[in-house]
Chain A
Amino acid sequence: QVQLVQSGAEVKNPGASVQVSCKISGYTLTELSMHWVRQAPGKGLEWIGGSDPEDGETIYAQRFQGRLTVTEDTSTDTAFMELSSLRSEDTAVYFCATMPRYGGKEYFDDWGQGTLVTVSS
């Protein structure tokens, strides 16, 4: 059973950057495909980026290209999401979520608890 524990809530000014971490246990990062999904207040789920489950390459939703960086530290089994040039519309709960590697399993089967990022001056 995978457990994902995310870092705590953040408050940032517009134009700043934020980094959210997600530490996994029960499995190693190399065995899974890690992704990030966000949810604005009262809104639906939006996939923003992660690692390709087949080849491990980083993939991003087009609208976040250039502003989003997803990285992994396999020595600590911790994944990171950094979003730059923050604006008020980025206020959301950010979830990390895992996907099985290989075999075309394109679903998120385990989720972190979520991290609230608030962008406000």
Chain B
Amino acid sequence: SYVLSQPPSVSVAPGQTARLTCGGNNIGSKNVHWYQQKPGQAPVLVVSDDSDRPSGIPERFSGSNSGNTATLSISRVEVGDEADYYCQVWDSSSDHLFVFGTGTKVTVL
């Protein structure tokens, strides 16, 4: 089964850049998608296919993917960016065909 590992928490000051990692075996060969989830709400897609931003998502959100690590970067962090963030891939050999990472809680100091 394919495993995606994310750090449990990241803290960042307003205006700084947050970098969230998602580790997986040869993840660079897969398309990685990122979701933002605020308390009590449904997830929202913020980056698809490694680095594409859906309509309505600020340019402050960007993604990259290479080797064994994918990264979601949030520049000029705002208080409203405080949320849980999950990475996700498709893996045909996994029990769960669509695999989510363990999630990272972003705290804005």
Partners in one complex: yes
Neighbouring B residues of A59 by C-beta, 8 Å: 97
- Whether A45 contacts B43 in the complex (CB less than 8 A), given A35-B98, A61-B96, comes out as yes
Interface residue? B61 (CB, 8 A) = no
**B100 CB contact (under 8 Å) in A45, A63, A105:** A45
Q: B85-104, CB under 8 A of A: which get 1 and which 0?
A: 01011100001111111110
- Whether A46 contacts B90 in the complex (CB less than 8 A), given A61-B95, A107-B45, comes out as no
Neighbouring B residues of A105 by C-beta, 8 Å: 48-49
Neighbouring A residues of B35 by C-beta, 8 Å: 45, 108
Which residues of A35-79 have CB atoms within 8 Å of chain B's CB atoms?
Answer: 35, 37, 44-48, 59, 61-63
Contact A46 B42 (CB under 8 A): no
Contact B44 A111 (CB under 8 A): yes
A22, chain B: closest CB distance, angstroms: 12
In this complex, which of A48, A97, A107, A114 has the most chain B Cβ atoms within 10 angstroms of its Cβ?
A107
Neighbouring A residues of B96 by C-beta, 8 Å: 46-48, 61-62
Chain B residues with CB under 8 Å of chain A are 31, 33, 35, 37, 42-45, 48-49, 54, 86, 88-90, 95-103
Which 5 residue pairs spanning A and B have beta carbons closest together?
A106-B90, A111-B42, A107-B33, A47-B98, A45-B100
What are 6 of the A-B contact pairs (CB < 8 Å)?
A37-B43, A44-B101, A45-B43, A104-B31, A107-B31, A111-B42
